[in-house]
Structure 1
């Protein structure tokens, strides 16, 4: 993929593509040889999210995130030690963005490591927005410059995370932070143990969450600010899956078994997003 890159770097890019296979379409419009930093930034986001959500022991996650905070804070001077940081800080825009914006997602991730289950859907948005908003602000500044508003990108990044968390409902049923808010669980009479078991109550609770996500995605479309090609595809895919699963007999199974849409529709969406990005930046 990224020609001339090391095997170590490629492994991080592969992890990103494994988590978001629909992004392979975007690579036709964000060429790795022309825009290595754009791809490295997406892979970095995946690394930070993996530390924030994929490590079950908070002290282990905190140690990894602390390493990233030190790495990103000093990368402008050192050039970075990590393969992703080295690619990013080989680009002048990395220094122009400023260290505070680079470190902000890591600090937000550390703040929310031991948060419990939110009371309601609005509480979920509030809890997830600092981390995903900071990632979206960094991405927006990288793609479009500091003057571009990250508001829409921040909201759709948060929604995509909540949709992804919902897909892992049965795997994460014993974690402190559940993918369904407490009010939803109470309305449908669901205990933590029952989240692992298919049934009418779980289906209703998942479907309610999907309807809330779909409504929030419609509202997000009215927010200001551009979306990167990658964020456009992530948001499109998440919204599509939420709508599809909400109408399925077993909504959680529909979410978990869904495949990337791809095809001409996905390619056209990536092309449109690339055209908007190129017009906005003159590239």
Structure 2
């Protein structure tokens, strides 16, 4: 395995979540290579689940990952990320089923359509993102730690990212806004491509639900990894800014790549919370 091969996967993760570059200052790559490899692996699985438009092609890639992760404990892995992960004893302490669970959940949701309402979106998203959160929480904090809060945060972050891609994903079966929200605001699929008062109102209503759900997530049990903690703080701040803006989608897009002092503070808070849980 070359360092360049591993770095290419880390770079793909950071391209989607650029704010995590700041979090890396608190999660040293030499001390915690598996923590970083796991985040990059999650991005690989999400890219297969959501980024490939042909379900059969996505299923083929996910099936490869299922085989890779189920055999990695014995083989050490073929993929650079798997090799880093299974060079760590904590990978062998987790059951094989927990490694494969996110892949199976990703396969199960490949052809999901648009959810009926916001609670249905949460329920649908929690299958894959809950499995990822369970794996991540067990890796960072041990098998006994609750992943309930991490699962909710991961699902909300996914719904927020889907909203960012509202226009790009208009032709996909699964839209970022649920059916009841489209109906309430009189929006057709095609009308999501262009700004309008109705579309902005629908986006703000979605952001209101995300804002409320994020507040509720604070009361759920379980720790957050440094990366998930930053993702949560950053996402919640983006939602708070955008939900009262005249052009909420523009505010979200600007916020996605923000890496200034506010994000550094969020990263420090997330890392401190992680340290408190493990010390």
Query: Which residue matches 1:62?
Result: 59
Alignment partner for residue 25 of structure 1, among 18, 22, 27?
22
Deviation at 1:273, TM superposition (A): 2.6
After superposition, the C-alpha distances for 1:157-212 in whole angstroms (9 at most, x for unaligned) are 00000000001001101110000000000000000110101101101111100110
Inter-partner Cα distance in structure 1 for 2:251 and 2:274: 33
Alignment partner for residue 123 of structure 2, among 119, 123, 126?
126
What secondary structure, in the 3-state scheme, does the structure 2 residue paired with 1:258 have?
A: helix
Matched, 1:113 2:127: no
Deviation at 1:259, TM superposition (A): 4.4
C-alpha change, 1:159 and 1:188, in structure 2 (3 Å) is same
Q: Is the 8 A contact 1:116 1:177 kept in 2?
A: yes
Alignment partner for residue 223 of structure 1, among 220, 225, 228?
220
Aligned residues: 279
Alignment partner for residue 192 of structure 2, among 178, 192, 195?
195
Inter-partner Cα distance in structure 1 for 2:277 and 2:175: 39
> Which deviates the most, 201-210 or 272-281?
272-281
Inter-partner Cα distance in structure 2 for 1:97 and 1:268: 33
Q: Which runs of 5+ in 2 are unaligned?
A: none
Query: Which residue matches 1:171?
Result: 168
Give the TM-score normalised by the residue count of structure 2. 0.97
Q: After superposition, where does 1:30-45 map in structure 2 within 5 Å?
A: 30-45=27-42
What secondary structure, in the 3-state scheme, does the structure 2 residue paired with 1:268 have?
A: helix
After TM superposition, the runs of 4+ consecutive aligned structure 1 residues lying more than 3 A away are 259-265
Inter-partner Cα distance in structure 1 for 2:237 and 2:6: 31
Inter-partner Cα distance in structure 1 for 2:271 and 2:165: 31
Deviation at 1:258, TM superposition (A): 2.6
Q: Which runs of 5+ in 1 are unaligned?
A: none
What secondary structure, in the 3-state scheme, does the structure 1 residue paired with 2:110 have?
A: coil
Deviation at 1:261, TM superposition (A): 4.1
Q: After superposition, where does 1:51-90 map in structure 2 within 5 Å?
A: 51-90=48-87
Deviation at 1:256, TM superposition (A): 2.1
Deviation at 1:62, TM superposition (A): 0.3
